[in-house]
DNA sequence: GTATGTGTACTGTGCGATATAGTACAGATA
DNA sequence: TATCTGTACTATATCGCACAGTACACATAC
């Protein structure tokens, strides 16, 4: 059974979209730590993607420690992680900078960006 | 003469990195409206990239109305734009959501993200 | 006029990422 | 034993990206 939702878009790789959907589902509580995660073949069948693509999703999620692989069993959703220093820097400098640059370029007010952050932070959607 | 700085990284296309560097230079005041923008051939020579790649940069910047092309002359840096509704939604929903999801996933505090926004907003770097 | 500098549009080549199809194997479970 | 897991292959096709090189129309400067 698939516990998260996806609507595929053009422009970015399928495996990337699935990885993001899983991250979002974990953060919003749609997927909880300890939940059983769909297997390669099940995901491929349900989402109608190639098994190799599903395998790529599993491998990426495992490398980011979002799921834990239990050989012969499948995978389990992990607890939320704590950021390493480099991950923290990547987000609080580079990612935020990109958002700020794009906002200023389009004359979007700082307050509106902050509001959007606060609004998105309560995402039980 | 090139009025902006770039340090090429692996992982993302060259033309994208140059486009972002220009956006940042405009936002920080390093490039001002009315400034003459380097031509395709000049950019290719100075940045040591292929003329086709430089052409791609110019085309992207023009499509986003960051520069104005004056046929036979070159290009000029435009004024800052106002966001259309769809651009605004794209940023205040999708982009912000990605930042929030990634932050929550790594247990980064909301206050730290807001601080980073405020810090980056004063970018006269 | 000529020479030069613009943007733009092609043809090719090479490389890597992505997605697909299909097969196979080791290991754990039932 | 049968079935499920993840994983690792071989192949194919398509696309994005960067590169090399050539060509054309247009405006400017001389």
As a whole number of Å, the end-to-end CA separation of chain B is 20
CB contact under 8 A, A123 and B100: yes
Identify the pLDDT of residue A124: 60
Size of interface A-B (CB pairs under 8 A): 126
How far, in Å, is the CA of B114 from the C1' of nucleotide D28?
Answer: 50
pLDDT at A103 over 90: yes
**pLDDT range class, residue B124, cuts 50, 70, 90:** low
Rg (CA), chain A: 17
User: For A26-45, what is the HEC assignment?
Assistant: HHCCCCCCCCEECCHHHHHH
pLDDT at B101 over 60: yes
Note the pTM of the prediction, 2 decimals.
Answer: 0.90
Contact with chain A for residue B79, Cβ under 8 A: no
Q: List all residues 6 or more positions away from B85 whose beta carbon is below 8 Å from its beta carbon.
A: none
What average pLDDT does chain A have?
Answer: 93
pLDDT tens sequence across B48-83: 999 999 999 999 999 999 999 987 788 999 999 999
pLDDT tens sequence across A43-88: 999 999 999 999 999 999 999 999 999 877 889 999 999 999 999 9
CB contact under 8 A, A91 and B83: no
> What are B77's strand-pairing partners?
B67
CB contact under 8 A, A105 and B27: yes
User: Which secondary-structure segment (H or E) carries B27?
Assistant: helix B14-28
How much is the average pLDDT of B76-101?
94
pLDDT at B1 over 70: yes
pLDDT at B125 over 60: no
- Residue B97 has which token pair? 């959501």
User: Which secondary-structure segment (H or E) carries B85?
Assistant: helix B85-89
């Amino acid at each position: 059974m698939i516990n998260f939702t996806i609507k595929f878009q053009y422009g970015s790789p399928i495996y990337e979209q699935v990885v993001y959907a899983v991250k979002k589902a974990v953060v919003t509580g749609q997927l909880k730590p300890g939940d059983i995660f769909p297997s390669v073949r099940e995901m491929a069948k349900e989402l109608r993607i190639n098994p190799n693509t599903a395998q790529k999703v599993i491998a990426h999620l495992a490398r980011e420690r979002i799921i834990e692989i239990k050989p012969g069993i499948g995978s389990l959703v992990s607890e939320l992680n704590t950021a390493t220093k480099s991950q923290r820097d990547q987000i609080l400098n580079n990612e935020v900078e990109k958002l700020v640059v794009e906002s200023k370029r389009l004359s979007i007010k700082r307050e509106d960006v902050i509001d959007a952050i606060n609004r998105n932070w309560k995402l039980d959607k």
